Amino acid sequence: MNAKIPSSSEHKSIDFSEATNPLEVIGANISKHVDPFGVASSVLNAQASWLMHPQELGRVMSALSGDMIALQAHVMRRALGIPSEDVVEPHADDTRFSDPVWKESATWDIIKEWYLAFTHRLQDMYFETPGMSGKERRRAAFWWRKWLNAMAPTNFFWTNPLAIRKFVETRGASLAKGFQNFMRDAKAKNIQMVEADAFQVGKDLALTPGKVIFRNRLLEIIHYTPTTKKVRSVPLLIITPWINKFYILDLTPKKSLVKYLVDQGYSVFITSWKNPTPDMSGVTFDDYLTEGVNTAVETVRDFCQVPKIHLTGYCIGGTLVSTYMAWANRKFGADKVPVADWTLFTTLTDFNHPGDIEVFIDENGVEAMEEMMAKKGYLEGSEMASSFRLLRSNSLIWTYWEHGYLFGEPLKPFDVLFWNCDSTRMPYAMHSFYLREMYLNNNLIKRDKLNIAGEPIDLHRITQPLYAVTAIDDHIAPWTQCYRIRKYINVDAPMHFVLSTSGHIVGIVNPPVTPPKRAYWSGDPQPNERYDDWMKRTKHQPGTWWGEWAKWLEERGGELIDAPPTSNRKYPALADAPGVYVLEK
Protein backbone atom coordinates (compact mmCIF):
# COMPACT_ATOMS: atom_id res chain seq x y z
CA MET A 1 0.00 0.00 0.00
CA ASN A 2 1.37 3.39 -0.95
CA ALA A 3 2.16 5.96 1.67
CA LYS A 4 -0.67 8.37 2.30
CA ILE A 5 -1.43 11.30 4.51
CA PRO A 6 -3.14 9.88 7.56
CA SER A 7 -6.38 11.64 8.39
CA SER A 8 -6.92 13.01 11.87
CA SER A 9 -9.33 10.17 12.60
CA GLU A 10 -6.53 7.65 12.21
CA HIS A 11 -4.67 9.04 15.20
CA LYS A 12 -5.57 9.23 18.86
CA SER A 13 -6.72 12.71 19.72
CA ILE A 14 -4.43 13.14 22.73
CA ASP A 15 -2.23 10.74 24.65
CA PHE A 16 -2.59 11.25 28.38
CA SER A 17 -0.82 8.05 29.35
CA GLU A 18 1.71 9.99 31.43
CA ALA A 19 -0.70 12.54 32.85
CA THR A 20 -1.94 12.26 36.43
CA ASN A 21 -3.51 15.70 36.77
CA PRO A 22 -7.20 15.88 35.76
CA LEU A 23 -6.84 19.62 35.16
CA GLU A 24 -4.31 18.79 32.46
CA VAL A 25 -6.93 16.69 30.66
CA ILE A 26 -9.64 19.34 31.00
CA GLY A 27 -7.25 22.11 29.97
CA ALA A 28 -6.10 20.18 26.92
CA ASN A 29 -9.68 19.79 25.67
CA ILE A 30 -10.32 23.52 26.06
CA SER A 31 -7.01 24.59 24.57
CA LYS A 32 -7.56 22.38 21.51
CA HIS A 33 -9.70 25.13 20.02
CA VAL A 34 -8.53 28.22 21.91
CA ASP A 35 -4.82 27.65 22.52
CA PRO A 36 -3.58 24.68 20.43
CA PHE A 37 0.10 25.28 21.23
CA GLY A 38 -0.46 25.62 24.99
CA VAL A 39 0.93 29.16 25.26
CA ALA A 40 -1.34 30.06 28.18
CA SER A 41 -3.09 26.80 29.07
CA SER A 42 0.10 24.90 29.90
CA VAL A 43 1.17 27.65 32.32
CA LEU A 44 -2.29 27.79 33.94
CA ASN A 45 -2.32 24.00 34.28
CA ALA A 46 1.04 24.10 36.03
CA GLN A 47 -0.12 26.80 38.43
CA ALA A 48 -3.28 24.85 39.25
CA SER A 49 -1.24 21.70 39.76
CA TRP A 50 1.00 23.43 42.30
CA LEU A 51 -2.10 24.58 44.22
CA MET A 52 -3.27 20.97 44.34
CA HIS A 53 0.05 19.92 45.92
CA PRO A 54 0.44 22.23 48.96
CA GLN A 55 3.24 20.20 50.55
CA GLU A 56 5.47 20.46 47.47
CA LEU A 57 4.49 24.12 47.09
CA GLY A 58 5.54 24.81 50.67
CA ARG A 59 8.93 23.23 50.02
CA VAL A 60 9.71 25.40 46.98
CA MET A 61 8.37 28.51 48.69
CA SER A 62 10.78 27.82 51.55
CA ALA A 63 13.63 27.62 49.07
CA LEU A 64 12.49 30.86 47.44
CA SER A 65 12.35 32.51 50.86
CA GLY A 66 15.96 31.52 51.40
CA ASP A 67 16.89 33.19 48.14
CA MET A 68 15.00 36.32 49.15
CA ILE A 69 16.79 36.53 52.51
CA ALA A 70 20.17 36.18 50.82
CA LEU A 71 19.17 38.71 48.21
CA GLN A 72 17.98 41.20 50.85
CA ALA A 73 21.34 40.93 52.62
CA HIS A 74 23.08 41.51 49.29
CA VAL A 75 20.91 44.60 48.64
CA MET A 76 21.74 46.06 52.04
CA ARG A 77 25.48 45.55 51.60
CA ARG A 78 25.41 47.14 48.14
CA ALA A 79 23.32 50.06 49.44
CA LEU A 80 25.94 50.67 52.15
CA GLY A 81 28.80 50.46 49.67
CA ILE A 82 30.09 47.19 51.12
CA PRO A 83 31.45 44.68 48.57
CA SER A 84 29.12 41.74 48.03
CA GLU A 85 29.15 38.73 45.74
CA ASP A 86 26.10 38.32 43.53
CA VAL A 87 23.54 35.88 44.88
CA VAL A 88 22.57 34.65 41.40
CA GLU A 89 24.87 34.64 38.37
CA PRO A 90 23.51 34.72 34.80
CA HIS A 91 23.94 31.52 32.80
CA ALA A 92 27.13 31.36 30.77
CA ASP A 93 25.25 31.88 27.49
CA ASP A 94 23.13 34.78 28.82
CA THR A 95 24.75 37.97 27.47
CA ARG A 96 21.97 40.37 28.48
CA PHE A 97 23.86 41.54 31.57
CA SER A 98 27.40 41.32 30.27
CA ASP A 99 28.09 45.06 30.41
CA PRO A 100 30.11 46.00 33.55
CA VAL A 101 27.44 48.50 34.63
CA TRP A 102 25.18 45.62 35.72
CA LYS A 103 27.76 44.61 38.33
CA GLU A 104 29.57 47.88 39.15
CA SER A 105 26.49 50.02 39.79
CA ALA A 106 24.63 49.04 42.96
CA THR A 107 21.28 50.19 41.54
CA TRP A 108 21.49 48.19 38.35
CA ASP A 109 23.04 45.19 40.09
CA ILE A 110 20.08 45.04 42.49
CA ILE A 111 17.57 45.20 39.62
CA LYS A 112 19.46 42.44 37.80
CA GLU A 113 19.69 40.25 40.89
CA TRP A 114 15.97 40.51 41.73
CA TYR A 115 15.08 39.56 38.17
CA LEU A 116 17.49 36.61 38.00
CA ALA A 117 16.55 35.30 41.45
CA PHE A 118 12.86 35.13 40.64
CA THR A 119 13.25 33.88 37.08
CA HIS A 120 15.68 31.08 37.95
CA ARG A 121 13.57 29.84 40.85
CA LEU A 122 10.27 30.09 38.95
CA GLN A 123 11.80 28.37 35.94
CA ASP A 124 12.90 25.47 38.14
CA MET A 125 9.41 25.31 39.66
CA TYR A 126 7.74 24.79 36.31
CA PHE A 127 10.19 22.04 35.36
CA GLU A 128 9.39 20.31 38.67
CA THR A 129 5.59 20.74 38.58
CA PRO A 130 4.03 17.77 40.39
CA GLY A 131 1.18 15.76 38.88
CA MET A 132 1.88 16.62 35.23
CA SER A 133 3.39 14.58 32.42
CA GLY A 134 7.01 15.23 31.54
CA LYS A 135 6.13 16.77 28.19
CA GLU A 136 3.54 19.11 29.73
CA ARG A 137 6.03 20.21 32.40
CA ARG A 138 8.56 21.02 29.68
CA ARG A 139 5.92 22.86 27.67
CA ALA A 140 4.81 24.95 30.66
CA ALA A 141 8.44 25.77 31.52
CA PHE A 142 9.15 26.70 27.89
CA TRP A 143 6.28 29.17 27.59
CA TRP A 144 6.88 30.60 31.07
CA ARG A 145 10.52 31.14 30.10
CA LYS A 146 9.35 33.07 27.03
CA TRP A 147 7.22 35.33 29.25
CA LEU A 148 10.11 35.85 31.67
CA ASN A 149 12.49 36.66 28.81
CA ALA A 150 10.03 39.26 27.53
CA MET A 151 9.88 40.90 30.98
CA ALA A 152 13.67 41.26 31.34
CA PRO A 153 14.81 44.75 32.48
CA THR A 154 17.00 44.96 29.39
CA ASN A 155 13.85 45.16 27.22
CA PHE A 156 12.55 48.42 28.74
CA PHE A 157 14.03 51.87 28.41
CA TRP A 158 13.78 52.98 32.07
CA THR A 159 15.36 49.73 33.36
CA ASN A 160 18.15 49.52 30.80
CA PRO A 161 21.16 51.65 31.82
CA LEU A 162 22.80 51.25 28.40
CA ALA A 163 19.72 52.65 26.64
CA ILE A 164 19.57 55.59 29.04
CA ARG A 165 23.29 56.28 28.60
CA LYS A 166 22.99 56.17 24.81
CA PHE A 167 19.95 58.50 24.96
CA VAL A 168 21.98 61.07 26.91
CA GLU A 169 25.07 60.72 24.72
CA THR A 170 23.07 61.17 21.49
CA ARG A 171 20.73 63.83 22.95
CA GLY A 172 17.72 61.68 22.21
CA ALA A 173 18.71 60.70 18.69
CA SER A 174 19.03 57.02 19.64
CA LEU A 175 15.41 56.79 20.77
CA ALA A 176 14.21 58.72 17.73
CA LYS A 177 16.05 56.31 15.47
CA GLY A 178 14.71 53.43 17.53
CA PHE A 179 11.15 54.59 16.87
CA GLN A 180 11.91 54.65 13.13
CA ASN A 181 13.21 51.09 13.41
CA PHE A 182 10.06 50.11 15.28
CA MET A 183 7.83 51.58 12.55
CA ARG A 184 9.93 49.78 9.91
CA ASP A 185 9.36 46.45 11.65
CA ALA A 186 5.70 47.19 12.31
CA LYS A 187 5.24 47.64 8.57
CA ALA A 188 7.07 44.36 7.94
CA LYS A 189 5.04 42.67 10.74
CA ASN A 190 8.25 41.22 12.12
CA ILE A 191 11.20 42.11 14.34
CA GLN A 192 13.75 42.06 11.57
CA MET A 193 17.28 40.68 12.02
CA VAL A 194 18.73 41.84 8.71
CA GLU A 195 17.66 44.16 5.90
CA ALA A 196 15.81 42.40 3.08
CA ASP A 197 18.24 43.89 0.53
CA ALA A 198 21.43 43.40 2.57
CA PHE A 199 22.66 40.73 0.13
CA GLN A 200 21.86 39.53 -3.36
CA VAL A 201 21.93 35.81 -4.08
CA GLY A 202 24.21 35.14 -7.02
CA LYS A 203 26.05 38.43 -6.53
CA ASP A 204 27.05 38.47 -2.85
CA LEU A 205 26.14 34.91 -1.84
CA ALA A 206 26.14 31.53 -3.63
CA LEU A 207 29.11 32.48 -5.78
CA THR A 208 30.71 29.12 -6.60
CA PRO A 209 30.60 28.71 -10.41
CA GLY A 210 28.43 25.95 -11.80
CA LYS A 211 25.50 25.07 -14.04
CA VAL A 212 21.96 23.83 -13.52
CA ILE A 213 21.99 20.53 -15.45
CA PHE A 214 18.53 19.24 -14.50
CA ARG A 215 15.17 20.67 -13.48
CA ASN A 216 11.79 19.18 -12.65
CA ARG A 217 8.76 20.43 -10.71
CA LEU A 218 10.50 19.87 -7.34
CA LEU A 219 14.16 20.68 -7.77
CA GLU A 220 17.12 21.88 -9.78
CA ILE A 221 20.41 19.99 -9.75
CA ILE A 222 23.53 22.15 -9.86
CA HIS A 223 26.90 20.77 -10.97
CA TYR A 224 29.81 22.91 -9.84
CA THR A 225 32.70 23.69 -12.16
CA PRO A 226 35.82 21.68 -11.22
CA THR A 227 38.82 23.72 -10.08
CA THR A 228 41.31 20.84 -10.34
CA LYS A 229 42.52 19.03 -13.46
CA LYS A 230 41.80 15.68 -11.85
CA VAL A 231 38.80 14.69 -9.71
CA ARG A 232 37.79 11.61 -7.78
CA SER A 233 35.75 9.23 -9.92
CA VAL A 234 32.94 8.93 -7.35
CA PRO A 235 30.83 12.13 -7.43
CA LEU A 236 29.22 13.74 -4.39
CA LEU A 237 25.53 14.70 -4.24
CA ILE A 238 24.23 16.90 -1.42
CA ILE A 239 20.50 16.79 -0.59
CA THR A 240 19.74 20.10 1.09
CA PRO A 241 16.79 20.83 3.40
CA TRP A 242 13.76 22.33 1.66
CA ILE A 243 12.83 24.29 4.80
CA ASN A 244 15.45 26.84 3.73
CA LYS A 245 17.44 27.46 0.57
CA PHE A 246 20.52 25.52 -0.40
CA TYR A 247 23.09 28.31 -0.33
CA ILE A 248 23.76 27.96 3.39
CA LEU A 249 26.43 25.54 2.12
CA ASP A 250 27.71 28.14 -0.36
CA LEU A 251 27.46 31.47 1.46
CA THR A 252 30.73 33.25 0.66
CA PRO A 253 33.94 31.77 -0.77
CA LYS A 254 35.56 31.64 2.70
CA LYS A 255 32.54 29.92 4.28
CA SER A 256 31.50 27.69 1.37
CA LEU A 257 31.55 23.95 2.03
CA VAL A 258 30.74 23.50 -1.67
CA LYS A 259 33.83 25.42 -2.78
CA TYR A 260 35.98 23.57 -0.24
CA LEU A 261 34.89 20.19 -1.64
CA VAL A 262 35.36 21.30 -5.25
CA ASP A 263 38.87 22.51 -4.42
CA GLN A 264 39.59 19.12 -2.81
CA GLY A 265 39.00 17.46 -6.17
CA TYR A 266 35.40 16.25 -5.97
CA SER A 267 32.65 16.46 -8.57
CA VAL A 268 30.01 18.20 -6.45
CA PHE A 269 26.28 18.28 -7.17
CA ILE A 270 23.62 19.91 -5.00
CA THR A 271 19.83 20.13 -4.94
CA SER A 272 18.02 23.46 -5.06
CA TRP A 273 14.36 22.91 -4.16
CA LYS A 274 11.47 24.81 -5.68
CA ASN A 275 9.57 27.13 -3.36
CA PRO A 276 6.10 25.50 -3.38
CA THR A 277 3.05 27.32 -4.71
CA PRO A 278 -0.63 26.63 -3.85
CA ASP A 279 -1.01 24.24 -6.80
CA MET A 280 1.65 22.00 -5.20
CA SER A 281 -0.41 21.35 -2.04
CA GLY A 282 -0.84 17.70 -3.01
CA VAL A 283 2.89 16.98 -3.38
CA THR A 284 3.72 14.15 -0.99
CA PHE A 285 6.72 12.86 0.93
CA ASP A 286 6.77 10.03 -1.60
CA ASP A 287 7.21 12.60 -4.37
CA TYR A 288 10.15 14.20 -2.56
CA LEU A 289 11.78 10.78 -2.40
CA THR A 290 11.09 9.60 -5.95
CA GLU A 291 11.16 12.88 -7.91
CA GLY A 292 13.67 14.40 -5.51
CA VAL A 293 16.36 12.16 -4.06
CA ASN A 294 16.00 9.16 -6.39
CA THR A 295 15.87 11.33 -9.49
CA ALA A 296 18.90 13.32 -8.32
CA VAL A 297 20.90 10.15 -7.61
CA GLU A 298 20.11 8.69 -11.02
CA THR A 299 20.88 12.00 -12.76
CA VAL A 300 24.31 12.27 -11.13
CA ARG A 301 25.10 8.62 -11.87
CA ASP A 302 24.11 9.07 -15.49
CA PHE A 303 25.99 12.36 -15.85
CA CYS A 304 29.22 10.88 -14.46
CA GLN A 305 28.66 7.39 -15.86
CA VAL A 306 29.32 5.69 -12.53
CA PRO A 307 27.49 2.88 -10.69
CA LYS A 308 27.57 4.51 -7.25
CA ILE A 309 27.92 7.97 -5.67
CA HIS A 310 28.56 9.65 -2.31
CA LEU A 311 25.22 10.85 -0.89
CA THR A 312 24.88 13.57 1.76
CA GLY A 313 21.79 14.96 3.52
CA TYR A 314 21.42 18.00 5.77
CA CYS A 315 18.71 18.38 8.45
CA ILE A 316 15.32 17.37 6.99
CA GLY A 317 17.22 16.56 3.79
CA GLY A 318 19.12 14.02 5.88
CA THR A 319 15.88 12.50 7.16
CA LEU A 320 14.80 12.10 3.54
CA VAL A 321 18.19 10.59 2.65
CA SER A 322 17.84 8.12 5.55
CA THR A 323 14.40 7.13 4.25
CA TYR A 324 15.80 6.80 0.74
CA MET A 325 18.65 4.56 1.91
CA ALA A 326 16.17 2.18 3.58
CA TRP A 327 13.92 2.37 0.51
CA ALA A 328 16.79 1.71 -1.94
CA ASN A 329 18.14 -1.23 0.05
CA ARG A 330 14.67 -2.79 -0.07
CA LYS A 331 13.96 -1.94 -3.71
CA PHE A 332 17.34 -2.71 -5.30
CA GLY A 333 19.03 -4.98 -2.77
CA ALA A 334 22.11 -4.05 -0.74
CA ASP A 335 24.60 -4.84 -3.52
CA LYS A 336 22.78 -2.76 -6.13
CA VAL A 337 22.05 0.37 -4.10
CA PRO A 338 23.42 3.28 -6.23
CA VAL A 339 25.11 4.82 -3.17
CA ALA A 340 28.61 3.83 -2.05
CA ASP A 341 28.38 5.67 1.29
CA TRP A 342 26.27 8.35 2.90
CA THR A 343 26.70 11.32 5.20
CA LEU A 344 24.22 13.04 7.53
CA PHE A 345 24.50 16.60 8.84
CA THR A 346 22.51 17.33 12.04
CA THR A 347 19.78 14.85 11.15
CA LEU A 348 17.02 13.32 13.26
CA THR A 349 15.76 9.82 12.54
CA ASP A 350 14.48 9.13 16.06
CA PHE A 351 12.03 11.90 16.98
CA ASN A 352 11.27 10.68 20.51
CA HIS A 353 12.96 13.71 22.12
CA PRO A 354 13.37 16.32 19.37
CA GLY A 355 14.31 19.17 21.69
CA ASP A 356 12.36 22.36 22.43
CA ILE A 357 10.48 22.07 19.13
CA GLU A 358 8.35 19.40 20.83
CA VAL A 359 6.28 22.17 22.47
CA PHE A 360 4.62 22.71 19.08
CA ILE A 361 4.14 19.01 18.32
CA ASP A 362 1.10 17.22 19.65
CA GLU A 363 -2.26 16.36 18.13
CA ASN A 364 -3.68 19.83 18.81
CA GLY A 365 -0.65 21.59 17.40
CA VAL A 366 -0.49 19.46 14.27
CA GLU A 367 -4.22 19.89 13.63
CA ALA A 368 -3.84 23.66 13.98
CA MET A 369 -1.00 23.66 11.44
CA GLU A 370 -3.01 21.44 9.09
CA GLU A 371 -5.90 23.90 9.24
CA MET A 372 -3.55 26.74 8.30
CA MET A 373 -2.03 24.72 5.46
CA ALA A 374 -5.42 23.63 4.15
CA LYS A 375 -6.40 27.26 3.58
CA LYS A 376 -3.30 28.14 1.54
CA GLY A 377 -2.04 24.81 0.28
CA TYR A 378 1.24 25.22 2.17
CA LEU A 379 2.83 26.28 5.43
CA GLU A 380 4.31 29.75 5.11
CA GLY A 381 8.05 29.76 5.63
CA SER A 382 7.85 32.81 7.89
CA GLU A 383 5.55 30.91 10.26
CA MET A 384 8.09 28.16 10.68
CA ALA A 385 10.91 30.69 11.02
CA SER A 386 9.01 32.40 13.84
CA SER A 387 8.73 29.08 15.68
CA PHE A 388 12.48 28.52 15.43
CA ARG A 389 13.17 32.07 16.65
CA LEU A 390 11.03 31.41 19.72
CA LEU A 391 13.29 28.51 20.65
CA ARG A 392 16.10 31.05 21.22
CA SER A 393 14.08 34.17 21.95
CA ASN A 394 16.80 36.09 23.81
CA SER A 395 19.34 35.90 21.00
CA LEU A 396 16.93 35.88 18.03
CA ILE A 397 14.20 38.28 19.21
CA TRP A 398 14.99 40.39 22.25
CA THR A 399 18.55 41.24 21.24
CA TYR A 400 17.15 42.90 18.12
CA TRP A 401 14.43 44.60 20.16
CA GLU A 402 17.03 46.10 22.51
CA HIS A 403 19.59 47.14 19.91
CA GLY A 404 17.07 48.26 17.31
CA TYR A 405 14.44 50.08 19.37
CA LEU A 406 16.21 51.10 22.62
CA PHE A 407 19.67 51.80 21.17
CA GLY A 408 18.53 52.93 17.72
CA GLU A 409 21.17 50.85 15.95
CA PRO A 410 20.88 49.84 12.29
CA LEU A 411 20.64 46.18 11.32
CA LYS A 412 23.99 44.56 10.59
CA PRO A 413 24.50 42.76 7.25
CA PHE A 414 25.00 39.17 8.47
CA ASP A 415 24.98 36.53 5.73
CA VAL A 416 23.76 33.62 7.89
CA LEU A 417 20.83 35.68 9.19
CA PHE A 418 19.98 36.81 5.66
CA TRP A 419 19.82 33.16 4.60
CA ASN A 420 17.79 32.30 7.68
CA CYS A 421 15.19 34.91 6.72
CA ASP A 422 15.10 33.71 3.10
CA SER A 423 12.64 30.98 4.02
CA THR A 424 10.59 28.65 1.85
CA ARG A 425 7.10 27.18 2.04
CA MET A 426 6.12 23.58 2.88
CA PRO A 427 3.56 21.72 0.69
CA TYR A 428 0.47 20.76 2.71
CA ALA A 429 0.43 17.01 1.97
CA MET A 430 4.17 16.49 2.44
CA HIS A 431 4.44 18.53 5.62
CA SER A 432 1.35 17.00 7.23
CA PHE A 433 2.79 13.54 6.61
CA TYR A 434 6.19 14.59 7.94
CA LEU A 435 4.79 16.11 11.14
CA ARG A 436 2.54 13.17 11.87
CA GLU A 437 4.62 10.20 10.84
CA MET A 438 8.02 11.49 11.98
CA TYR A 439 7.46 13.87 14.89
CA LEU A 440 4.10 12.78 16.25
CA ASN A 441 4.23 9.00 15.71
CA ASN A 442 8.01 8.51 15.34
CA ASN A 443 7.37 5.83 12.72
CA LEU A 444 10.67 6.10 10.84
CA ILE A 445 12.45 4.00 13.47
CA LYS A 446 9.71 1.34 13.53
CA ARG A 447 10.53 -1.52 11.21
CA ASP A 448 8.24 -1.65 8.14
CA LYS A 449 5.77 0.75 9.78
CA LEU A 450 6.03 3.32 6.97
CA ASN A 451 5.39 2.49 3.34
CA ILE A 452 7.05 4.98 1.00
CA ALA A 453 6.78 4.79 -2.79
CA GLY A 454 5.70 1.16 -2.65
CA GLU A 455 8.36 -0.09 -0.24
CA PRO A 456 8.22 -0.74 3.54
CA ILE A 457 10.87 1.30 5.33
CA ASP A 458 13.29 -0.40 7.69
CA LEU A 459 16.49 1.47 8.63
CA HIS A 460 18.00 -1.83 9.72
CA ARG A 461 18.38 -2.78 6.05
CA ILE A 462 20.98 -0.04 5.55
CA THR A 463 24.48 -1.54 5.35
CA GLN A 464 26.41 1.23 3.54
CA PRO A 465 29.09 3.18 5.50
CA LEU A 466 27.77 6.26 7.31
CA TYR A 467 29.51 9.48 8.40
CA ALA A 468 27.27 11.49 10.77
CA VAL A 469 27.95 15.07 11.91
CA THR A 470 26.12 16.73 14.81
CA ALA A 471 26.51 19.90 16.89
CA ILE A 472 26.66 20.08 20.66
CA ASP A 473 24.48 23.23 20.97
CA ASP A 474 21.95 22.19 18.33
CA HIS A 475 18.44 23.04 19.58
CA ILE A 476 16.70 21.79 16.40
CA ALA A 477 18.31 18.34 16.13
CA PRO A 478 19.81 17.51 19.55
CA TRP A 479 23.02 15.58 19.06
CA THR A 480 22.09 12.89 21.58
CA GLN A 481 19.05 12.07 19.43
CA CYS A 482 21.02 12.21 16.18
CA TYR A 483 23.46 9.72 17.71
CA ARG A 484 20.68 7.13 17.93
CA ILE A 485 20.93 6.39 14.19
CA ARG A 486 23.64 3.92 15.27
CA LYS A 487 20.93 1.88 17.01
CA TYR A 488 18.68 1.62 13.96
CA ILE A 489 20.93 0.98 10.97
CA ASN A 490 22.32 -2.51 10.39
CA VAL A 491 24.64 -3.65 13.15
CA ASP A 492 27.32 -4.47 10.56
CA ALA A 493 27.14 -1.05 8.86
CA PRO A 494 30.37 0.95 9.45
CA MET A 495 29.64 4.30 11.10
CA HIS A 496 31.75 7.32 12.03
CA PHE A 497 30.26 9.96 14.34
CA VAL A 498 31.37 13.58 14.76
CA LEU A 499 30.24 16.07 17.40
CA SER A 500 31.13 19.67 16.56
CA THR A 501 31.01 22.64 18.87
CA SER A 502 28.41 25.36 18.17
CA GLY A 503 24.87 24.90 16.82
CA HIS A 504 22.70 23.64 13.98
CA ILE A 505 24.12 26.00 11.35
CA VAL A 506 27.57 27.11 12.48
CA GLY A 507 28.48 23.59 13.53
CA ILE A 508 28.19 22.65 9.83
CA VAL A 509 29.25 25.93 8.19
CA ASN A 510 32.57 25.57 9.93
CA PRO A 511 35.48 26.39 7.58
CA PRO A 512 39.15 25.95 8.49
CA VAL A 513 40.59 29.09 10.13
CA THR A 514 43.80 29.96 11.96
CA PRO A 515 43.71 29.99 14.91
CA PRO A 516 40.79 27.52 15.17
CA LYS A 517 37.50 28.98 16.38
CA ARG A 518 35.82 25.66 17.13
CA ALA A 519 36.55 22.03 17.93
CA TYR A 520 35.04 18.57 17.54
CA TRP A 521 34.96 15.03 18.87
CA SER A 522 35.29 12.18 16.39
CA GLY A 523 35.14 8.39 16.56
CA ASP A 524 33.39 5.17 15.53
CA PRO A 525 30.49 4.33 17.87
CA GLN A 526 29.91 0.71 18.73
CA PRO A 527 26.44 -0.70 17.92
CA ASN A 528 25.15 -0.64 21.53
CA GLU A 529 27.38 2.11 22.92
CA ARG A 530 25.75 5.01 24.77
CA TYR A 531 26.48 8.53 23.56
CA ASP A 532 28.09 9.56 26.86
CA ASP A 533 30.40 6.54 26.79
CA TRP A 534 31.34 7.35 23.20
CA MET A 535 32.14 10.93 24.14
CA LYS A 536 34.31 9.92 27.12
CA ARG A 537 36.62 7.83 24.96
CA THR A 538 36.86 10.17 21.95
CA LYS A 539 39.46 12.88 21.58
CA HIS A 540 38.55 16.57 21.65
CA GLN A 541 40.26 18.11 18.62
CA PRO A 542 40.64 21.83 17.79
CA GLY A 543 39.47 23.08 14.41
CA THR A 544 36.91 21.87 11.90
CA TRP A 545 35.82 18.37 10.90
CA TRP A 546 35.82 19.33 7.17
CA GLY A 547 39.31 17.96 6.57
CA GLU A 548 38.58 14.68 8.30
CA TRP A 549 35.40 14.21 6.26
CA ALA A 550 37.29 14.94 3.03
CA LYS A 551 39.80 12.22 3.93
CA TRP A 552 36.97 9.81 4.77
CA LEU A 553 35.44 10.46 1.35
CA GLU A 554 38.83 10.16 -0.34
CA GLU A 555 39.25 6.64 1.04
CA ARG A 556 36.05 5.72 -0.79
CA GLY A 557 36.31 8.18 -3.67
CA GLY A 558 37.81 5.97 -6.38
CA GLU A 559 40.69 6.78 -8.67
CA LEU A 560 41.62 10.19 -10.03
CA ILE A 561 40.18 10.95 -13.48
CA ASP A 562 40.13 13.94 -15.80
CA ALA A 563 37.70 16.56 -14.54
CA PRO A 564 34.42 16.36 -16.49
CA PRO A 565 32.80 19.39 -18.15
CA THR A 566 30.25 21.25 -16.05
CA SER A 567 27.51 20.31 -18.53
CA ASN A 568 27.28 18.06 -21.58
CA ARG A 569 25.08 17.28 -24.56
CA LYS A 570 22.68 15.05 -22.61
CA TYR A 571 22.58 17.45 -19.68
CA PRO A 572 22.99 20.94 -21.15
CA ALA A 573 23.28 24.01 -18.97
CA LEU A 574 19.78 25.27 -18.14
CA ALA A 575 21.08 28.22 -16.11
CA ASP A 576 24.18 29.42 -14.33
CA ALA A 577 24.51 28.63 -10.65
CA PRO A 578 22.80 29.38 -8.31
CA GLY A 579 19.89 28.68 -10.67
CA VAL A 580 16.31 29.90 -10.86
CA TYR A 581 14.45 28.16 -8.04
CA VAL A 582 16.63 29.73 -5.32
CA LEU A 583 15.51 33.21 -6.42
CA GLU A 584 11.79 32.47 -6.08
CA LYS A 585 10.04 34.20 -3.18
Residue whose C-alpha is closest to residue 345's, from 155, 535, 567, 502: 502
Instruction: Provide the β-strand partners of residue 215.
Output: 220
Q: What positions carry a catalytic annotation? A: 315
Residue type, 526: Q
Question: CB–CB of 342/239 below 8 Å?
Answer: no
As a whole number of angstroms, the distance between CA 406 and CA 123 comes to 27
Q: What is the DSSP letter of 289?
A: I
* DSSP result, 99-134: STHHHHSHHHHHHHHHHHHHHHHHHHHHHT-TTS-H
| Pairing, β 210-215 against β 455-456 | unpaired
Cα 1 to chain centroid distance, Å, stands at 32
> DSSP letters of 194-224?
S-TTS--BTTTB--S-EEEEEE-SSEEEEEE
CA distance 370 to 368: 5
Phi and psi at residue 43, in whole multiples of 5°? -70, -45
**How far is residue 484's CA from residue 494's CA, in Å, rounded to a whole number?**
14
Give the DSSP letter string of 408-430.
-PPPP--HHHHHHHSB--EEHHH
Residues 6+ apart with CB under 8 A from 565: none
Per the CB < 8 A criterion, the answer to whether 283 and 427 are in contact is yes
* Angle ∠(273,278,283) on CA atoms, nearest 5: 55
Phi and psi based region of residue 190 (left: phi greater than 0; alpha: psi -120 to 50; beta: remaining) = beta
Amino acid in position 415:
D
* Alpha carbons 130 and 52: distance in angstroms, whole number: 9
